Amino acid sequence: MKNEQILGTEPVFKLLLKYSVPAIIGMMVNALYNVVDRIFIGNIPDVGPLAITGVGVTMPIMTIILAFAMLIGVGATTNISIKLGQGKKEDAQKLIGNAITLSVIVSILISIIGILFGDSILKLFGASDVTLYYAKSYIYIILGGTIFNILAFTLNNTIRGDGNPKLAAIIMVVGCLANIVLDAILIFAFNLGIQGAAIATVISQMVTAIWALMYYLKGKSHLTFEKSSLKLDKSLVKLIFAIGSAPFAMQIATSLVQIISNNALKMYGGDLAIGAMATISSISMIFLMPIFGLTQGAQPIIGFNYGAKKYSRANDAFKISALVSIVIMTSGWILVQTIPEAIVGMFNKDKQLMDITVNGLRIYLFMIPIIGVSITGSNYIQSVGKAKIAMILSLLRQVILLIPMIIILPKFFGLNGVWYAQPVADFLATMITVIILIKELKSYKNDEETVEELAY
């Protein structure tokens, strides 16, 4: 009740800070897992450029693993919250056991299929005869540890749903720090190269998964874990999949884009172009994660005030988050356009790879100052309960507009066409989002005026 009063009365900017900062930290920590891996891999003596290209080839597989983790983790956590709200504590407890069992089954299947058909899958995803060795060296170890990856993600989410977001954040931070330290030790001190990076990732995910499991096994959780809950309940599994299917579909779509992109990069720019994209996507992630954290923080504020018919407060939450995102992204744009060599140099210092990456980075992120409007705008539409429109707006930038651009533009501009695809999709998606937003905001303004007239 107190929390609800705060959402409806406390200054909007103060609320945004309170809700967004923890989410931004969480998103940044999540991004650092991949970014740090790529920085270390790119700096492996003699083979860095080929090694980072190998990792670039594996990105669609990593995204598919994340898709299944989100299917179970997001699906289970949302349903736990719903069941607790309905007073059905027993079902909420069963969901934890079912989520663990599903994680184990799905992980084993992914590991078996991935390792058995690895060569064919990697070639389909853009590996050449030269980069296949590095891609296999990395992804086979990751696939072997899929069970820790999915369990860690799922249980970290359920701990948040169990009412302990602080512990969930601590576990994530410790896992990320372990990954950084182990990367340095295994890649350079033990000379394990790209395999060292994969082992470091699996060990850090193992630490996270075991820590999260112990939270439930030692009875520290609010929801009691019982062995009997590990037996799958068909109705609960359906509920998990029903809620988790939306983020799952988004990640599968992202994986499809990565596959198409990798093949276009290989065709028009060769192996090193895939390595360049691995670096560019990491840099892009660093700038985008604060915006995703910001939208997570804005969601409950917009949703509550919209539901309470306090449209001006809901609109203020959107406007402030959009403005902050423009400031963050414009700062990123200035850095990318003025000192790209310094940024790319963190990942790799190979002259040929750096030239391709710097050129690609400047073009690929050319429209980032306006991306924030597209992301915060679709989040606003989602927060006011228009999930279908929000889903279409989210898919516009990264799938619906992007895929045709990746296929068409390189035919005219070669490798630069692959880089141009993203800013063109960004621009068009933002314009469409703005048009829909203006219509939405005007309709709420009219509703609010009607409410005020009636009150008067």
Q: Which of 383, 393, 396, 394 is nearest to 444 (CA)?
A: 383
pLDDT at position 102 over 60: yes
pLDDT at position 452 over 70: no
Contact 199, 141 (CB under 8 A): yes
In this predicted structure, what is the pLDDT of residue 420? Answer: 98
Residues near 279 by beta carbon (within 8 Å), at least 6 away in sequence? 38, 42, 52, 344, 347, 348, 357, 361
Q: Which of 298, 384, 383 is nearest to 23 (CA)?
A: 298
Question: Number of C-alpha atoms within 13 angstroms, CB side, residue 362?
Answer: 12
Number of neighbouring beta carbons within 10 Å of residue 21: 14
Q: How far apart are CA 425 and CA 98, in angstroms?
A: 40
Query: In degrees rounded to 5, what are phi and psi of residue 190?
Result: -100, 0
Contact 179, 154 (CB under 8 A): no
In this predicted structure, what is the pLDDT of residue 60? Answer: 96
Concatenated DSSP letters for 376-428? HHHHHHHHTT-HHHHHHHHHIIIIITHHHHHHHHHHHHTHHHHHHHHHHHHHH
Q: What do you get for the CA distance between the two ends of the chain, in Å?
A: 28
User: Mind listing the pLDDT tens digit for each residue in 199-209?
Assistant: 999 999 999 99
pLDDT at position 224 over 90: no
In this predicted structure, what is the pLDDT of residue 454? Answer: 41
Residues near 282 by beta carbon (within 8 Å), at least 6 away in sequence? 34, 35, 38, 39, 347
In this predicted structure, what is the pLDDT of residue 222? Answer: 82
Average pLDDT score over residue span 94-116: 97
pLDDT at position 448 over 70: no
In this predicted structure, what is the pLDDT of residue 1? Answer: 46
CA–CA distances in Å: residue 89 to residues 76, 99, 240, 422: 14, 16, 16, 46
Average pLDDT score over residue span 254-270: 96
In this predicted structure, what is the pLDDT of residue 296? Answer: 81
Look at the block and give the residue holding tokens 């996507």: 281
pTM above 0.85, yes or no: yes
3-state DSSP helix/strand/coil % of the chain, to nearest 5: 90, 0, 10
In this predicted structure, what is the pLDDT of residue 295? Answer: 87
Name which of 11-25, 113-127, 175-189 the model is least confident about.
11-25
416: region left, alpha or beta (phi > 0 left; psi from -120 to 50 alpha): alpha
In this predicted structure, what is the pLDDT of residue 162? Answer: 80
Residues near 232 by beta carbon (within 8 Å), at least 6 away in sequence? 98, 101, 102
Q: Does an H or E element contain 200, and which?
A: helix 193-217
pLDDT at position 451 over 90: no
Residues near 220 by beta carbon (within 8 Å), at least 6 away in sequence? none
Average pLDDT score over residue span 378-404: 87
User: Mind listing the pLDDT tens digit for each residue in 309-322?
Assistant: 888 898 999 999 99
User: Mind listing the pLDDT tens digit for each residue in 336-377?
Assistant: 999 999 999 999 999 999 999 999 999 999 999 999 999 999
pLDDT at position 190 over 90: yes
**What is the rounded average pLDDT for all residues in the chain?**
90
Q: Which of 95, 114, 118 is nearest to 106 (CA)?
A: 114
pLDDT at position 165 over 90: no
**How do the domains of the chain map onto residue ranges?**
1-27+270-456, 43-256
Provide the pLDDT confidence category of residue 41 given band limits of 50, 70 and 90: very high
Q: What does R_g of the chain's alpha carbons equal in angstroms? A: 22
Average pLDDT score over residue span 37-46: 91
pLDDT at position 166 over 60: yes
Contact 110, 143 (CB under 8 A): yes
Name which of 22-26, 248-252, 323-327, 388-392 the model is least confident about.
22-26
